[in-house]
Amino acid sequence: MKIYTKTGDQGKTSLFGGSRVSKGHLRIETFGTIDELNSYIGLLRDQQIDALSYDALVKIQKELFSVGAVLATPEENMKKDKTKKKINACSIDTSHVLFLEKEIDRMDAILAPMTHFILPGGHTTVSYCHLSRSVCRRAERLVVLLAENTFIQPILLEYLNRLSDYLFVLARKLSLDLGAKEEKWLP
């Protein structure tokens, strides 16, 4: 696979199926943000974290490649199931959301109840987690915008919403693991 093709030198790129769009197109911005999120999660995963969190982050990174593939597929190139419902071979489903919920519940069980908003920070690893969470929220907002103009599987929004929740709880758990103080926001 050749790294440079020169086909994007004029500011256009290809979607799955071959159609070409501007590199500034909302669809490109959306899956580009998913790629950015995946990179931040990789940075987080490279920190000294527990094995369960590490394994979960690897799983999530793989799922984000599927999310990117779904977002890179225009509606006209989606497959249809027997009921003519649009599907995509690289789809995220409810089991992925349930995994995130299970992980959130597992971590939340060992954390002190939240009584205030928490300022991001306290340790570099925790800050990487908060950066991942904020990029995830941006990706979610972009998927919402994209869904206003074209068909997007609703499960993608559910997945990204839950993923940002997971990253928030993971940041709190990492604060606990690392002995970092959670700074409360007191208006």
Name residue 12's beta-bridge partners: 22
152-179 pLDDT, tens digit each: 889 999 999 999 999 999 999 999 999 9
Q: Which of 137, 143, 119, 126 is nearest to 177 (CA)?
A: 126
Q: Which of 169, 166, 182 is nearest to 61 (CA)?
A: 166
Residue 135 in domain: yes
Residue 71 in domain: yes
Instruction: Kindly report the average pLDDT of the chain as a whole number.
Output: 89
86-126 pLDDT, tens digit each: 555 557 999 999 999 999 999 999 999 999 999 999 999 99
CA distances from 134 to 2, 85, 127, 156 (A): 33, 32, 10, 17
Residue 34 in domain: yes
Residue 100 in domain: yes
The answer to whether residues 47 and 170 touch, using CB atoms and an 8 Å cutoff, is no
Instruction: Reply yes or no on whether the pLDDT at 21 is more than 90.
Output: no
Name, in order, each residue with C-beta under 8 angstroms of 149's C-beta and a sequence gap of 6 or more: 26
Record the pTM: 0.88
Which structural domain range is residue 166 located in? Answer: 19-178
Residue 160 in domain: yes
State both tokens at 49.
């974290």
State both tokens at 88.
């995509």
Tally of CB atoms within 10 A around 136:
28
> What CATH number is given to the structural domain containing 95?
1.20.1200.10
